[in-house]
Amino acid sequence: MSEATETIFSKIIRREIPADIVYEDNLALAFKDIHPQAPVHILVVPKKPIATLADAQSEDHALLGHLFLTAKRVAEEAGLKNGYRVVINTGDDGGQTVDHLHVHILGGRKLSWPPG
């Protein structure tokens, strides 16, 4: 599968479902997770529908870099001065629950390791 199917994230991108959006540009959208796992839990999603990181192609390299730089910017704007975690879950075994590539920004407390 190289493209995401219709998902809740594509509906949020099109503004068909409300979300607490904290950042948007022409390539990405960032919004607060509705089931936060930390005091700050924000998702950064590409507007281009890519189902999983495993489905990304070489043509997506600039977009993938943009997602990470967007995560950095959003984390700074959220005041995560003491650090944060950036996570991409991929596939069922990786814990991905929405088939649209997304980057989790988690912070606002000391995070433990290993996760899960």
The pLDDT, as a whole number, for residue 114 is 85
Mean pLDDT along residues 75-96: 97
C-alpha dist (Å) from residue 115 to 37, 87, 89, 94: 11, 11, 12, 11
> From CA 57, how far away is CA 60, in angstroms rounded?
5
What is the reported pLDDT for 89?
A: 97
> What's the CA gap between 91 and 99, in Å, rounded?
8
pLDDT at 115: 77
The three-state secondary structure class of 114 is coil
Q: What is the CATH number of domain 8-107?
A: 3.30.428.10
Q: Report pLDDT digits (tens) over 8-47.
A: 999 999 999 999 999 999 999 999 999 999 999 999 999 9
Average pLDDT score over residue span 75-81: 97
Q: Say if residue 3's pLDDT is above 70.
A: no
Tokens, residue 3: 């493209």
Which tens digit of pLDDT belongs to each residue from 55-76?
Answer: 999 999 999 999 999 999 999 9
**Which of the residues are catalytic?**
102
Query: How confident is the model over 74-81, as a mean pLDDT?
Result: 98
What is the C-alpha to C-alpha distance for residues 86 and 104, in angstroms, rounded to an integer? 6
pTM (two decimals): 0.93
